[in-house]
């Protein structure tokens, strides 16, 4: 590792010396318009790479944050700074909330000098989606646990991030040159101004700090070792394996013989292959764990796509109220908490209802109800006077879910909504594949016949979601 900018590292609010590095970069290429963009900005100061610039150097800034509570703290922290604009938004890769469109509202035609991307996951996809703005310098978070020779990018919506090699490839395609890599961030300068930096071009491999990588190594007897505890060790629970009859040490660090008891990372199933003395590990067990992990990842990705569908309809029809049936553990409502001004959600299971109440207790605009959604929905509808987005997902599906008089009360729910005085609601019904006439589910034909009784509504099915709209 041979970093040109390591001597300029300095932290004011940054984590790994980025404050000092950015000051030196802009000293060399010039400040330009002194405009910085950062998201997620948190409270404007916490681990910020731009706070020093707008607070101490006279820069302007647009600070974007999706969490409502953090936005309130952000507004307090920028009081007295008219050159700083707080934006409460969830940046997405398509639709009305892309970074290009958000900045188009606040910076029409204005040049951006610095863009900092730190969203713990979708950083690569956000950068890839940018088309109109062309920042002179980009700071973007990478996953430092991935070796520099591996090109890997998470699926959109996951919590894994992208490797340094993947981000460098993308930035290069967009016309940028890598100038530094800190412990968690990569810094790029636009190719047109790279010569002002007055350094030689360097590869990811040359700038990457490999001393923090963790390697899994195996002995001939089937024992597995880690060369060090993982960088993000909060994802793991370790138990050191004692009396393995081996003592291994290299020049710099001792190897750690371990059994990974619990691993909630994306590669959980791999850890289960580690051999434990006295335990018979079979391919059957490995296969079962692999299948379960794949199911978990599929569920997370499917849930993310459902979130995007709800957001898309909310934006298209400009709806501020949501009503959900089937709260479960509050997952969907939690994701929608900053999208809608008012949310109602109904859960039949008492334990699930109580758990959701605990999870959502800090959000005053969310109302939780316990009971049969086929009945409770009529109570809520009496107070609804404006178009509402209905997410109907209240049905029995085994496990922790509760079973009422019917496996699904969707017909009762739908009739109540369709008869409501407001005639331009949006109704989204999850799990369209279940509507086959079995276990209290109507067929699609029966459902269509019900909807067509109300001439103002039409029905279509897409991506396992039934969509009933005006």
> What is the tens place of the pLDDT at every residue in 82-141?
999 999 988 888 888 899 999 888 887 779 999 999 887 889 999 999 999 999 999 999
Collapsing DSSP to helix, strand or coil, 217 comes out as strand
Contact predicate 126/91, CB 8 Å: yes
Question: What is the per-residue pLDDT across 420-465, written as a single tens digit (0 to 9) for each?
Answer: 999 999 999 998 888 988 888 999 999 999 998 886 889 999 888 9
Global pTM value: 0.55
- Kindly list the structural domains of the chain, giving each domain's residue range(s) and its CATH number in brackets, ordered by start: 6-210 (3.40.50.150), 214-281 (no CATH), 294-469 (3.40.50.150)
Please state the three-class secondary structure of 104-127 as a single string.
HHHCCCCCCCEEEECCCCCHHHHH
Highest mean pLDDT among 17-21, 44-48, 310-314: 17-21
Q: What confidence score (pLDDT) does residue 51 get?
A: 95
List, in sequence order, the alpha helices (H) in 163-282.
Answer: 164-173, 194-197, 204-207, 268-271
Q: What confidence score (pLDDT) does residue 94 get?
A: 85
What is the chain's mean pLDDT, rounded? 84
Collapsing DSSP to helix, strand or coil, 236 comes out as strand
Q: What confidence score (pLDDT) does residue 177 get?
A: 98
* pLDDT mean over 37-47: 89
Range of lowest pLDDT (100-109, 227-236, 403-412): 227-236
Q: Strand order in 114-117's β-sheet? A: 84-88, 60-65, 35-39, 114-117, 137-141, 185-190, 176-181
Q: What confidence score (pLDDT) does residue 226 get?
A: 75
Q: What confidence score (pLDDT) does residue 237 get?
A: 43
* 269 pLDDT higher than 90: no
Contact predicate 333/327, CB 8 Å: yes
* pLDDT mean over 336-357: 93
Q: What confidence score (pLDDT) does residue 396 get?
A: 84
Q: What confidence score (pLDDT) does residue 74 get?
A: 93
* 277 pLDDT higher than 50: no
Q: How confident is the model at residue 223 (pLDDT cuts 50, 70, 90)?
A: low
Range of lowest pLDDT (169-173, 247-251, 455-459): 247-251
* CA proximity to 465, closest of 336, 302, 347: 302
Q: What confidence score (pLDDT) does residue 297 get?
A: 47
Q: How confident is the model at residue 155 (pLDDT cuts 50, 70, 90)?
A: confident
CB atoms within 10 A of CB 364: 7
CA distance 336 to 17: 35
| Sole residue written with tokens 């009739």 | 415
Q: How far is CA 288 from CA 72, 284, 302, 425, in A?
A: 46, 6, 21, 43
């Amino acid at each position: 590792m041979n970093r040109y900018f390591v001597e300029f590292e300095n932290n004011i609010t940054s984590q790994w010396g980025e404050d000092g590095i950015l000051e030196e970069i802009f000293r060399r290429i010039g400040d330009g318009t002194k405009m910085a963009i950062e998201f997620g900005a948190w409270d404007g100061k916490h681990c910020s790479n731009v706070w020093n610039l707008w607070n101490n150097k006279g820069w302007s800034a647009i600070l974007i944050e999706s969490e409502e509570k953090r936005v309130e703290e952000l507004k307090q922290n920028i009081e007295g700074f008219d050159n700083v604009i707080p934006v409460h938004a969830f940046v997405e890769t398509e639709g009305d909330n892309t970074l290009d469109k958000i900045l188009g509202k606040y910076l029409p035609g204005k040049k951006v000098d610095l863009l900092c991307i730190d969203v713990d996951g979708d950083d690569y996809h956000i950068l890839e989606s940018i088309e109109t703005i062309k920042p002179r310098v980009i700071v973007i978070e990478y996953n430092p646990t991935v070796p520099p020779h591996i090109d890997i990018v998470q699926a959109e919506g996951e919590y894994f991030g992208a490797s340094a090699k993947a981000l460098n490839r993308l930035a290069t395609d967009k016309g940028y040159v890598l100038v530094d890599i800190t412990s968690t961030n990569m810094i790029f300068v636009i190719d047109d101004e790279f010569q002002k930096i007055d350094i030689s071009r360097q590869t990811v491999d040359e700038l990457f700090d490999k001393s923090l990588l963790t390697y899994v190594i195996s002995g001939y007897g089937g024992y597995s070792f880690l060369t060090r505890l993982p960088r993000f060790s909060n994802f793991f629970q370790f138990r050191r394996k004692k009396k393995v009859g081996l003592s291994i040490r290299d020049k710099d660090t001792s190897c750690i013989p371990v059994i990974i008891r619990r691993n909630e990372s994306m590669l959980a199933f791999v850890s289960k292959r580690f051999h434990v003395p006295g335990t018979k590990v079979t391919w059957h067990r490995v296969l079962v764990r692999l299948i379960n992990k794949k199911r978990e990842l599929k569920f997370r990705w499917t849930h993310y796509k459902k979130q995007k569908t709800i957001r898309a309809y909310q934006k298209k029809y400009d709806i501020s109220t949501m009503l959900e049936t089937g709260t479960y553990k509050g997952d969907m409502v939690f994701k929608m908490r900053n999208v809608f001004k008012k949310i109602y959600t109904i859960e039949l299971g008492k334990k699930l209802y109580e758990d959701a109440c605990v999870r959502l207790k800090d959000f005053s605009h969310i109302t939780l109800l316990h009971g049969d959604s086929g009945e409770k929905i009529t109570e809520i509808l009496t107070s609804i006077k404006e178009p509402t987005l209905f997410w109907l997902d209240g049905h029995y599906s085994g496990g922790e879910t509760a079973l009422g008089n019917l496996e699904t009360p969707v017909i009762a729910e739908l009739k109540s909504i369709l008869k409501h005085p407001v005639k331009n609601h949006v109704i989204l019904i999850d799990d369209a594949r279940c509507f086959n006439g079995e276990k209290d589910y109507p067929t699609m034909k029966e459902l269509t016949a019900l909807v067509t009784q109300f001439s103002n509504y039409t029905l279509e099915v897409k991506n396992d979601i039934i969509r009933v709209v005006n």
